């Protein structure tokens, strides 16, 4: 009789634990709610409207064989969002993008949670389904080897160019404006990237400037304040006011271009911070920071 009671109690406890796990996982998954952050840009020379889709901070992670033994628990702990993000990438986003009517999609960085071949292959499979042209802007998580061996990291790095243009500055020309993307913007702008940017500026077309890491505003401290509040006192922006990313020569030149009174840049778009912010970079150039795609956020930029 005593044994029977112990068995029944154990079964009830096991069932309660399972229910709790399901509830926790369901709760996390429930956080995914597709929603758009819509931006409109009026340009005189543009007659027919163009639509650009932005997606960043998806953090795809496959808990595959590449994860080192010592890290499996850490990666597993990120399953609530990252494995879920991988499922959403497999089954949701590519069709959504293809049906969106977008003229271009910009993947604004942190599309994978760490730079492993399993993660990049997962991302690539979705890219292969796309019928819309895209720019893939790599940044910190896309290029970080966290959780895997140096050998696996090297294999993944070799695979990176198969995911589209990986040059320092990527651009996409529309008839009357240009989308310019700073690749790997957790590091300073390179000489090559700056030269390419100067050549594009010489074309005298309006520029939509994409970067994963946002730029500190010269006229509004609220973005830096919000970052400090969330990230342990760190302002995770490029800037001169004790911000986390310190601009060296080429980046200073880039900032000079963005802040110039006659800058061809009309708006800057960024991700990285996992919250949404909209405001002014300078008296005339705007900046929008997008919330993360892992929670279902995406941007629609209409240029008209
Ligand atoms: Fe990031």
More confident call, 24 vs 153: 153
- Report every protein residue that has its C-beta within 5 angstroms of ion ligand 1: 110, 140, 272
More confident call, 61 vs 256: 256
Residues 68, 7 within the same domain: no
pTM of the model: 0.87
Residues 2, 131 within the same domain: no
Could you give the CA distance from residue 181 to residue 171 in angstroms, rounded to a whole number?
6
pLDDT value of position 47: 86
59 alpha carbon to ligand 1 midpoint, in Å? Answer: 9
pLDDT value of position 12: 52
Residues 271, 220 within the same domain: yes
Could you give the CA distance from residue 152 to residue 62 in angstroms, rounded to a whole number?
14
205 alpha carbon to ligand 1 midpoint, in Å? Answer: 29
284 alpha carbon to ligand 1 midpoint, in Å? Answer: 26
Q: Is the pLDDT of residue 23 over 60?
A: no
192 alpha carbon to ligand 1 midpoint, in Å? Answer: 23
* Token pair 């209409």: residue: 302
Residues 57, 19 within the same domain: no
271 alpha carbon to ligand 1 midpoint, in Å? Answer: 7
Q: Which residue segment(s) compose the domain that 68 sits in?
A: 34-303
Q: In sequence order, which residues have a C-beta less than 8 Å from that of residue 291 and are 6 or more positions away? A: 37, 57, 274, 275, 276, 297
169 alpha carbon to ligand 1 midpoint, in Å? Answer: 18
109 alpha carbon to ligand 1 midpoint, in Å? Answer: 7
Domains held by the chain: number: 2
Measured between alpha carbons, how far is residue 217 from residues 98, 191, 230, 238 in Å? 34, 24, 18, 9
Report the b/e string of 81-104 with b at 16+ CB within 10 A: bbbbbbebbeeebbeebeeeebbb
227 alpha carbon to ligand 1 midpoint, in Å? Answer: 13
Q: Indicate which CATH number applies to the domain containing 119.
A: 3.60.21.10
């Amino acid at each position: 009789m005593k044994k029977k009671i112990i068995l029944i109690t154990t079964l009830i406890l096991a069932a309660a634990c399972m229910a709790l796990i399901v509830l926790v996982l369901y709760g996390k998954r429930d956080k995914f709610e597709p929603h758009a952050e819509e931006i409109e840009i009026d340009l005189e020379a543009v007659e027919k409207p163009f639509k650009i889709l932005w997606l960043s901070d998806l953090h795809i992670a496959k808990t595959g064989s590449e994860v080192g033994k010592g890290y499996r628990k850490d990666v597993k702990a990120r399953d609530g969002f990252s494995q879920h993000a991988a499922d959403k990438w497999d089954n949701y986003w590519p069709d959504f993008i293809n049906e969106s009517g977008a003229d271009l999609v910009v993947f604004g960085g942190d599309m994978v949670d760490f730079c492993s071949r399993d993660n990049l292959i997962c991302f690539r499979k979705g890219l292969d389904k796309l019928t819309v042209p895209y720019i893939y802007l790599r940044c910190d998580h896309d290029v970080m080897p966290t959780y895997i061996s140096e050998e696996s990291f090297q294999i993944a790095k070799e695979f990176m160019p198969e995911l589209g243009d990986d040059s320092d500055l990527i651009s996409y020309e529309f008839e009357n404006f240009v989308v310019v993307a700073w690749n790997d913007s957790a590091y300073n702008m390179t000489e090559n990237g700056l030269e390419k940017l100067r050549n594009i500026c010489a074309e005298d077309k309006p520029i939509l400037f994409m970067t994963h890491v946002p730029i500190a505003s010269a006229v509004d401290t609220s973005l830096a304040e919000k970052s400090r509040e969330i990230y342990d006192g760190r302002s995770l922006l490029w800037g001169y006011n004790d911000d986390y990313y310190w601009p060296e020569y080429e980046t200073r030149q880039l900032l000079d271009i963005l802040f110039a009174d006659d800058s061809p840049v009309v708006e800057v778009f960024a991700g990285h911070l996992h919250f949404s912010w909209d405001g002014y970079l300078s008296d005339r150039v705007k900046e929008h920071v997008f919330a993360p795609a892992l929670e279902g956020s995406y941007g629609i930029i209409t240029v008209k």
